[in-house]
Amino acid sequence: MSLSTHCLNTTTGLPAEGLLVELVSLAVDGAGAEISAVPTVLESATTDADGRHRFALSPEPGTYRLRFHTGAFLAAQDTDTLYPWVDITFTVEDPAVNPAAPTHLHIPLLLNPFGYSTYRGS
């Protein structure tokens, strides 16, 4: 399983170069509720000139969160925002349980100071 992300600033139309993003492992119960108050940061990096990052870690089946540090990123551009960070929580399926589970996840973030959206990319 490989994982990548891409962030575009939809206000400027430019890639979000230098945006800090963290990959966090979450402990959850059978219903999907978090059971640990202290998540584990597995990898921390900044996006490249194209606003992209490919994680070195290959996530095992489980629940994860990408945390984008949008407040600091936009503050560096003299831009106020409502969102100090954006969290995207997702699951990695076990291919032994679901043979159709993807071998690569790409999780884009479209960002502006007033809102954001995300989707499962390709």
Query: Do 88 and 77 touch, CB atoms closer than 8 A?
Result: no
> Cα dihedral sign for 42, 118, 68, 53?
positive
Mean pLDDT by 10 residues, the chain (122 residues): 97 98 89 76 98 96 95 97 96 92 96 97 92
Domains of the chain, CATH where assigned = 2-118 (2.60.40.180)
Backbone angles phi, psi at 71, to 5 degrees: -60, -50
The span from the CA of 31 to the CA of 101, in Å, is 20
Backbone angles phi, psi at 86, to 5 degrees: -120, 125
The span from the CA of 100 to the CA of 93, in Å, is 9
DSSP letter string, 3-14? EEEEEEETTTTE
- Residue 32 confidence (pLDDT): 73
- Residue 27 confidence (pLDDT): 84
- Residue 112 confidence (pLDDT): 97
